[in-house]
């Protein structure tokens, strides 16, 4: 296998860590020195090599531990995975998309053999081998969406398209940034985005919905989103706010570099062939400030973005209470030098072309 999987935790003792390779390929979300909401969609095309954009569904060193954390969350709260009855076909669509993609992009880790509707799936990292009949849920231990998303990093919302809107009618959500699938299930696009400040009056969601409803099977799209979190906790759900909310008050000038994390979501959008549903994977990446500032361009830029962000966005992004400490820490890494355009490190920061592909 080409990936060395970490043995780490995302709760309790928080042993999560990023290797130097993981730091170099982190999907830094800011392409300039300031930030405001926008419909920042782009085609989900492959490349650059070695980045999370190089494949359809990124698998990295955190894969095995993330799947173990998902299983813990589902054992504690099975309602983190829900699918309304009319979404079963979309679940089979999603299973096919993920299995075919992983087997093609990581042939050393995943194998899919198909003989008509008789399928044979092998997931080597998780030690899973399953023979099943495509379209027959009785041949799987879970429904099709739950079965495959227990083996795929990130959250998954599956959106039904009807009445000129998108409806969150199915999902697997265990690593979300303070929103609840159980609360949002059955809501339309505008309803589940209602808490977001500023964006509605700017017309962001109206433009985004128009774009998403025209995503075709051969034109998947992507965008990056971000927030901040204390400690490398995947499950920052409203249901468990009593566990992670108090952790915001543990940040000090001495520990902010290690405990404060930038949380980035690689969001992709896929039109599913049989159901015409829209698959909406939300892949979470975490990096603490100490590791992030090892890339000088990112340290300079994050300081400027967080320093100048409107107060209501700082509150919505989850770091208002610690903003002074965070900005003061980051200021030490901002020498005032100009930053280059785009999200990637400069050649003098990290030679990205030296990061092996899919490591």
**For residue 9, is it within any domain?**
no
Contacts of 244 (CB under 8 A, 6+ apart): 229, 230, 231, 233, 235, 236
Q: What is the pLDDT of residues 67-85, one digit of tens each?
A: 999 999 999 999 999 999 9
Per DSSP, the three-state class of 97 is: helix
Partners of 110 in the β-ladder: 123
pLDDT band at 351 (very low <50, low <70, confident <90, very high): very low
| Mean pLDDT score, 222-244 | 96
From 223, 263, 271, 283, active-site residue: 223
Give the pLDDT score at 350: 53
**For residue 4, is it within any domain?**
no
Give 284: exposed, middle or buried? Use CB within 10 Å, 0-12, 13-18, 19+.
buried
Number of domains in the chain: 1
Q: Residue 240 is part of which domain span?
A: 20-354
**For residue 14, is it within any domain?**
no
| Mean pLDDT score, 236-246 | 96
Strands of the chain, DSSP E: 42-43, 81-83, 110-115, 118-123, 128-133, 155-162, 165-172, 221-230, 260-271, 278-288
| Mean pLDDT score, 127-142 | 98
Give the pLDDT score at 97: 98
**For residue 27, is it within any domain?**
yes
**For residue 11, is it within any domain?**
no
Give the pLDDT score at 353: 37
Give the pLDDT score at 355: 41
Percent of the chain with pLDDT over 90: 88
Taking the C-alpha atoms of residue 173 and residue 334, their distance in angstroms, rounded to an integer, is 36
Give the pLDDT score at 38: 79
Q: With 60 as the cut, is the pLDDT of residue 357 above it?
A: no
| Mean pLDDT score, 190-214 | 85
**For residue 282, is it within any domain?**
yes
**For residue 13, is it within any domain?**
no
| Mean pLDDT score, 181-194 | 94
Partners of 222 in the β-ladder: 42, 268
Give the pLDDT score at 59: 98
68 catalytic residue (yes or no): no
| Mean pLDDT score, 189-216 | 86
pLDDT, the chain, mean: 94
Q: With 60 as the cut, is the pLDDT of residue 272 above it?
A: yes
**For residue 200, is it within any domain?**
yes
Q: With 60 as the cut, is the pLDDT of residue 297 above it?
A: yes
Q: What is the pLDDT of residues 161-182, one digit of tens each?
A: 999 999 999 999 999 999 999 9
Give the pLDDT score at 259: 98
Give the pLDDT score at 347: 74
As given in the structure block, the two tokens for residue 128 are 């899973």
Identify the CA nearest to 175 among candidates 83, 283, 28, 98.
283
């Amino acid at each position: 296998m080409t990936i060395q999987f970490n043995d780490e935790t995302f709760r309790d003792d928080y042993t999560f860590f990023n290797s130097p390779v993981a730091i170099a390929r982190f999907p830094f979300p800011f392409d300039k020195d300031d930030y405001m909401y926008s419909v920042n969609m782009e085609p989900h095309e492959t490349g650059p090599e070695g980045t999370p954009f190089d494949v359809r569904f990124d698998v990295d060193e955190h894969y095995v531990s993330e799947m173990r954390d998902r299983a813990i969350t589902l054992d504690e709260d099975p309602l983190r995975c829900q699918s309304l009855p009319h979404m079963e076909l979309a679940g089979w669509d999603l299973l096919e998309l993920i299995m075919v993609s992983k087997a093609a992009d990581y042939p050393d880790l995943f194998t899919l053999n198909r003989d008509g509707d008789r399928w044979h799936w092998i997931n080597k990292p998780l030690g899973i081998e399953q023979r099943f009949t495509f379209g027959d849920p009785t041949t799987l231990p879970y429904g099709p969406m739950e079965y495959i998303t227990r083996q795929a990093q990130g959250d998954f919302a599956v959106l039904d398209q009807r009445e000129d809107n998108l409806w969150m009618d199915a999902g697997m959500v265990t690593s979300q940034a303070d929103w609840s699938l159980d609360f949002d299930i059955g809501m339309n696009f505008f309803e589940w985005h209602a808490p977001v400040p500023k964006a509605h009056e700017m017309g962001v969601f109206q433009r985004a919905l128009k774009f998403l409803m025209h995503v075709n099977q051969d034109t998947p799209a992507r965008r990056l989103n971000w927030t901040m979190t204390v400690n490398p906790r995947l499950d920052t759900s409203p249901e468990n706010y009593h566990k992670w909310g108090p952790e915001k008050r543990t940040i000090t000038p001495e520990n902010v570099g290690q405990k404060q994390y930038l949380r980035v979501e690689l969001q992709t959008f896929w039109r599913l062939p049989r159901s015409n549903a829209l698959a909406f994977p939300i892949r979470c990446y975490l990096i603490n400030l100490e590791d992030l500032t090892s890339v000088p361009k990112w340290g300079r830029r994050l300081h400027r973005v967080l320093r100048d962000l409107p107060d209501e966005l700082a509150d919505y992004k989850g770091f208002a209470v610690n903003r002074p400490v965070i900005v003061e820490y980051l200021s030490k890494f901002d020498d005032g030098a100009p930053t280059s355009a785009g999200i990637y490190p400069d050649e003098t920061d990290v030679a990205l072309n030296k990061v092996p592909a899919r490591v």
